[in-house]
């Protein structure tokens, strides 16, 4: 269909305005957009409360006030989480971790979403939600332990209301919807009690949005009005595939097809991400159903430390996104408004340095797991087959010890 065809199958020989200039064409275009939505090249709305230059903006739906302690807390969170990411990357380069999934550049998306949660809200993460884990009180060393191969996730998901990392792309969205439906049956949704009502948030990336599991989760969430926030960190790269090859429309607009609202937020703006996620979570707690939040950001680092992004993307893009750095923009705002000074920032730098030292020493001192421990958490209850495998492995392992003695 050419850009001047008003609808598929229109008789172009009787088109009264082939140049697309007259009132008939305008009316036809408006009618077309009412049915099919805006053109793909239209600029999507982006909720933003803090510009890359550190200027405060206001929004008719998501504006709110932030006190000084909250703003400084956001800044501290992002600085320390970035230090975690930096230290973990260095540890992997020195052979202390087998792999690391970087979050560089996505700190605002994760801290904004994480701090919007209430204690009773439950998170279903991917393998990159280190900032959200930080907000839910998970020991950062437990994250490093996974990538060191010491365990498969040793924190208590119920104690932290933060699930174990999910490596299978998109699977956690189905888990989140099922958990949310369970909350409905437990009577902790829509009661009007802020200390009781709870919601679920499922994190995933732009690449995962193409997975069947994710789309099935959308269908079930819409059908059962599940109290779920689908939080998509659109860092614009599904490993090496750019977002332009993944979707013909902005990702948040996909929610319309499933029957629930979607919103795009500046994922490098911690204030806007917090405000939008907070509203979406409250909507879920009240029993109003799911919301799709697209945090539009950029993956400044590699997909993982095994990836080389210089093979598939331009350095100019990275340099352009450096100007939108989430930490720098908040620092500019804090300094401009007299909310921090050099002494406060120096104290935070010292805290980050000590945090880095703790991470390095803690990672290197982790004991190797007992080989047979790989059988411990396969099933909630051990099956006969698993027991036989465990016993066979024990005999195999003992044979080496006997040989040494």
Beta carbons of 127 and 165 less than 8 angstroms apart: yes
Of the residues 128, 148, 299, 324, only one is catalytic, namely 299
Is 312 among the residues known to form the active site? yes
Q: DSSP readout, 4-27?
A: T-SSTT--GGG-S-TTS-SHHHHH
CA distance linking residue 319 with residue 314, whole number of Å: 9
Beta carbons of 185 and 147 less than 8 angstroms apart: no
Is 72 among the residues known to form the active site? no
CA distance linking residue 274 with residue 269, whole number of Å: 9
Q: Taking the CB of residue 89, how many other CB atoms lie within 10 A of it?
A: 19
Of the residues 203, 264, 303, 324, only one is catalytic, namely 303
CA distance linking residue 297 with residue 315, whole number of Å: 16
User: If you ran DSSP here, which 8-state letter would residue 343 be given?
Assistant: H
Is 12 among the residues known to form the active site? no
Angle 209-214-217 from CA coordinates, rounded to 5°: 145
Beta carbons of 170 and 213 less than 8 angstroms apart: yes
Largest CA distance in the chain: 95
Residues known to be catalytic: 299, 303, 312
């Amino acid at each position: 269909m050419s850009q001047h065809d008003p609808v598929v199958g229109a008789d172009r020989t009787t088109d009264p305005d082939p140049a697309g200039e007259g009132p008939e064409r305008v009316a036809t275009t408006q009618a077309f957009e009412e049915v099919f939505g805006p053109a793909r090249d239209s600029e999507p709305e982006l909720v933003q409360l803090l510009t890359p230059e550190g200027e405060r903006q206001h929004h008719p739906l998501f504006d709110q006030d932030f006190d000084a302690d909250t703003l400084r807390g956001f800044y501290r969170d992002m600085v320390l989480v970035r230090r975690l990411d930096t230290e973990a990357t260095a540890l992997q380069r020195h052979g202390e971790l087998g792999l690391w999934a970087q979050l560089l550049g996505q700190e605002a998306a994760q801290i904004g979403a994480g701090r919007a949660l209430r204690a009773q809200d439950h998170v279903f993460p991917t393998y990159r939600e280190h900032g959200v884990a930080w907000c839910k009180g998970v020991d950062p060393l437990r994250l490093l332990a996974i990538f060191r191969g010491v365990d498969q996730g040793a924190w208590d998901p119920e104690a932290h209301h933060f699930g174990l990392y999910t490596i299978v792309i998109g699977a956690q969205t189905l888990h989140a919807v099922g958990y949310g439906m369970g909350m409905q049956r437990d009577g902790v949704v829509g009661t009007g009690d802020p200390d009781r009502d709870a919601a679920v948030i499922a994190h995933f990336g732009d690449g995962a949005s193409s997975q069947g599991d994710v789309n099935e989760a959308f269908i079930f969430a819409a059908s059962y009005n599940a109290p779920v926030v689908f939080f998509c960190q659109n860092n614009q790269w599904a490993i090496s595939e750019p977002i332009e090859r993944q979707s013909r429309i902005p990702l948040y607009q996909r929610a319309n097809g499933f029957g629930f609202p979607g919103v795009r937020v500046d994922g490098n703006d911690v204030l806007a991400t917090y405000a939008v996620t907070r509203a979406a979570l409250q909507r879920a707690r009240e029993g109003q159903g799911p919301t799709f939040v697209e945090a539009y950001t950029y993956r400044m680092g590699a997909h993982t430390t095994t990836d080389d992004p210089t093979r598939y993307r331009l350095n100019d893009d990275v340099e352009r996104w450096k100007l939108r750095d989430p930490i720098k923009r908040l620092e500019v705002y804090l300094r401009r408004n007299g909310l921090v000074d050099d002494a406060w920032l120096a104290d935070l730098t010292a805290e980050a340095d000590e945090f880095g030292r703790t991470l390095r020493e803690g990672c290197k001192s982790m004991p190797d797991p007992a080989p047979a421990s790989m059988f411990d958490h396969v099933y909630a209850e051990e099956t006969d087959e698993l027991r036989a495998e465990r016993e066979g492995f024990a005999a195999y392992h003992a044979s080496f010890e006997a040989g040494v003695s």
